[in-house]
Amino acid sequence: MPSSVLPQPVPPSVLVERPEHARAVEVLVDRAFGPGRFAKSSERLREGARKLDDCSFVALSDGRVIGSVRLWPVSVGGQPVAFLGPLAVDATERSHGLGQALVEAACAAATRAGWRAVLLVGDAPYFGRIGFSAGPAAQATMPGPADQRRVLVKALVEGGDAGLVGPILKG
């Protein structure tokens, strides 16, 4: 008697975001964060800026965008760093490590592109697992109202997180 084998789900593919993904990424981010995201200081840093195309990624499942992460150029006290965000994963795809895979892909690409560090505003327990910490970013000041304890940084090169003192500005 032949055994029936159930098809295994194909894992999502993580790849560099292309122009044809842009609309689906915006829809995903809107669903994940809602209209309130436009009031956040992180959004002020991204507004009018051009994302780092070679460091921004999507996760695709059956050709559908189910996850996204983007990096943007900013400076801290005059030192250029990459700014991560938003990170969005479709609600039905969470808790499978996809967000972490996207962040790791973006950080690896930023390292290859020569960035010294990646900065973000986020949850320390979650991003701490990926190597981000608040200590080195303690004197990097987000514009506008922001919880400075949520400003995190990850060095991409030895000492890349040193001396990040001052205002965080568009790059």
Over the stretch 28-74, which tens digit does the pLDDT of each residue have? 988 887 766 655 778 878 888 899 999 999 999 989 999 999 999 99
Instruction: Output the pLDDT for position 46.
Output: 86
The reply to whether 8 falls in a domain is no
User: 4: pLDDT confidence band, cut at 50, 70 and 90?
Assistant: low
Name which of 14-23, 102-111, 136-145, 150-159 the model is least confident about.
136-145
The reply to whether 156 falls in a domain is yes
SS3 per residue for 53-116: HHHCEEEEECCEEEEEEEEEEEEECCEEEEEEEEEEECHHHCCCCHHHHHHHHHHHHHHHCCCC
Containing domain of residue 49, as a range?
Answer: 13-170
- N-to-C CA span, the chain: 65
The reply to whether 5 falls in a domain is no
- Rounded distance between C-alpha atoms, residue 135 and residue 152, angstroms: 8
Q: Considering its fold, how many domains does the chain have in total?
A: 1
The reply to whether 3 falls in a domain is no
Higher-pLDDT residue of 12 and 120 is 120
- Rounded distance between C-alpha atoms, residue 102 and residue 136, angstroms: 23
Angle, CA 78 vertex, CA 148 and CA 43 arms, to 5°: 45
User: 136: pLDDT confidence band, cut at 50, 70 and 90?
Assistant: confident
Q: Is the pLDDT of residue 1 over 60?
A: no
The reply to whether 7 falls in a domain is no
Q: Is the pTM of this model over 0.75?
A: yes
41: domain CATH number?
3.40.630.30
Instruction: Output the pLDDT for position 48.
Output: 82
Q: What is the mean pLDDT of residues 4-19?
A: 76
